[in-house]
Amino acid sequence: MKLCMIGTGYVGLVSGACFADLGNDVVCVDKDFNKINRLKNGVIPIYEPGLEELVKKNYNNKRLKFSTDLNKSVAKSNIIFICVGTPTKKNSNFADLSQIYKVTKEIRGSINKFKIIITKSTVPVTTGDQIEKIISKKKPKKLFSVVSNPEFLREGEAIRDFIYPDRIVIGTNNSRSNKILKNLYSPLISKGAKYINTSRRASELIKYASNSFLATKITFINEIANLCEKIGVDIEDISIGIGLDKRIGGRFLRAGPAYGGSCFPKDTKAIVTTGDKFKTNLSLIKSVIKSNQKRTSLMLDKVNEILKGRIKNKNISFLGVTFKANTDDMRDSSSLLMIPSLAKKGAKVNYYDPTGEKKIFKKIKNVTYCENINTAIRFSDLVIIHTEWNDFKSINFNSVIKKKNFIVYDLRNIYSHSKMKKDKINYFGVGR
């Protein structure tokens, strides 16, 4: 089929490349000329394992194209995926839908035959209704169908999550569109993906409810971890102990720093505004947002406690600064609050990240990027393991670090408490 992906970010570029790899003709459209030129030259603007090869393979076999011409690309495609950003509006909880409605009007002008217009971006419930209203101002309803098809891609695992989704959610009451989309996704369905057809609003809500539930699950285990530290038990035992209950499940039960990323913070806030709009108080999700927002200062209190209140002139190193491993995404990463706060208290902060130096830290005094792990930690009083990259999982701290009585604060519990004790390392984890 002829597909047009509008927006070449995490969602549009990954989905476009994967759809091309399934044999479809895909054109990825972006208004950013430089981005499109870089893509045509094989330069991928995002860090996503496996994406570069997938894009190059499908670009070379001409199944995947890049263009800045939205109108021409829409005109020659049957299915249009809207994959533009829906960030949280400044100083509010609302999703900013300006890009969605802007491209909707541009798509409208290029509808020359029946088109399926899909929101793959995460959009608040009833956005599909608005899109339908905007288009039907100028185009007859028989010429288009607006469908919700949310993505469930995790950064760092996006290609795998596309090829092996737990489910494909298609929100439409239009049987023609449903049939066409079931055919589009048939290669994944034949590999075991569940295909569910719901109303458009249900599909839009499924996305927010999914992310809010996952954020709740993580916040739950993080709060239990706080209790574990007071009681003196290991949160890992609790995660395993409850996770073996099939009704709970063991995934997303790893205690850590505050959750971050481009989705959980944004989507939990957005669903609360949807609740308010429909006069339904989503009190649990509101408390999840509050608990997570408080978590980073909890981590900082712990650093203060570990260093016995003496932070000034201490050498503190961060291993990893992105919101999680296997991504270069800094959005809502707890390091964005922790590093400036510690530097402000007079600590000398080194950091190393496998995805390289971060602009945001360049302008902060006493914060230095180091090219490798050893340089970052060699003279540390305190090493903070911030993300769970594999690179950080077998460091021989005693042989690398020159300082006596150095401390390791493992925010991802990637080391075994007992092994660190055996190696006589002052070790602190989360919930243990």
Select 26 or 325, whichever has its Cβ closest to ligand UDX.
325
Under the criterion CB under 6 A, does residue 318 sit at the interface with ligand UDX? no
Stretch that binds ligand UDX, among 31-39, 82-90, 227-235, 248-256 (CB under 6 A): 248-256
Under the criterion CB under 6 A, does residue 85 sit at the interface with ligand UDX? no
Query: d(Cα 80, Cα 59) in Å, to the nearest integer?
Result: 19
The catalytically annotated residue of 18, 28, 228, 263 is 263
Instruction: With beta carbons less than 8 A apart as the criterion, state whether 88 and 270 touch.
Output: yes
Shortest distance, position 397 Cβ to ligand UDX, whole Å: 23
Type of residue numbered 37:
N
Cα-Cα-Cα-Cα torsion 244, 249, 255, 258, nearest 10 degrees, comes to -170
Binding mask 258-277 for ligand UDX (x = CB under 6 A): -xxx-xx-------------
Q: Degrees (nearest 5) of the Cα angle 113, 118, 122?
A: 160
Select 168 or 347, whichever has its Cβ closest to ligand UDX.
168
Stretch that binds ligand UDX, among 256-264, 307-315, 352-360, 399-407 (CB under 6 A): 256-264
Under the criterion CB under 6 A, does residue 331 sit at the interface with ligand UDX? no
Under the criterion CB under 6 A, does residue 289 sit at the interface with ligand UDX? no
| Contacts of the segment 89-92: beta carbons below 8 A, 24+ positions apart | 92/273
Query: d(Cα 71, Cα 40) in Å, to the nearest integer?
Result: 19
Residue with tokens 């408490």: 417
The rounded Cα 172 to chain-centroid distance in angstroms is 26
Give the one residue of 55, 117, 131, 153 binding ligand UDX; rule: CB under 6 A: 153
Under the criterion CB under 6 A, does residue 324 sit at the interface with ligand UDX? yes
Stretch that binds ligand UDX, among 95-103, 135-143, 153-161, 378-386 (CB under 6 A): 153-161
Give the one residue of 56, 57, 154, 201 binding ligand UDX; rule: CB under 6 A: 154
Under the criterion CB under 6 A, does residue 155 sit at the interface with ligand UDX? yes
Give the one residue of 47, 323, 397, 415 binding ligand UDX; rule: CB under 6 A: 323
Residue with tokens 């459209």: 29
Tell me the CA distances in angstroms from 390 to 133, 219, 266, 343, 385, one per residue in order.
49, 24, 28, 27, 12
281: left (phi over 0), alpha (psi -120 to 50) or beta: beta
Q: Give how many residues touch ligand UDX by CB under 6 A.
A: 19
Under the criterion CB under 6 A, does residue 432 sit at the interface with ligand UDX? no
Shortest distance, position 214 Cβ to ligand UDX, whole Å: 6
- Dihedral (CA of 232, 234, 240, 243) sign: positive
Residue with tokens 């927002």: 293
Query: d(Cα 167, Cα 177) in Å, to the nearest integer?
Result: 18
List the interface residues with ligand UDX, window 162-221 (CB under 6 A): 211, 214, 218
Question: Concatenated DSSP letters for 108-142?
Answer: HTT--S-EEEEE-S---TTHHHHHHHHHHTTS-GG
Is residue 28 annotated as part of the catalytic site, yes or no? no
Binding mask 210-239 for ligand UDX (x = CB under 6 A): -x--x---x---------------------
Question: Which spans of this chain sit near ligand UDX (rule: CB under 6 A)?
Answer: 151-155, 211, 214, 218, 252-254, 256, 259-261, 263-264, 323-324
Active site residues: 263
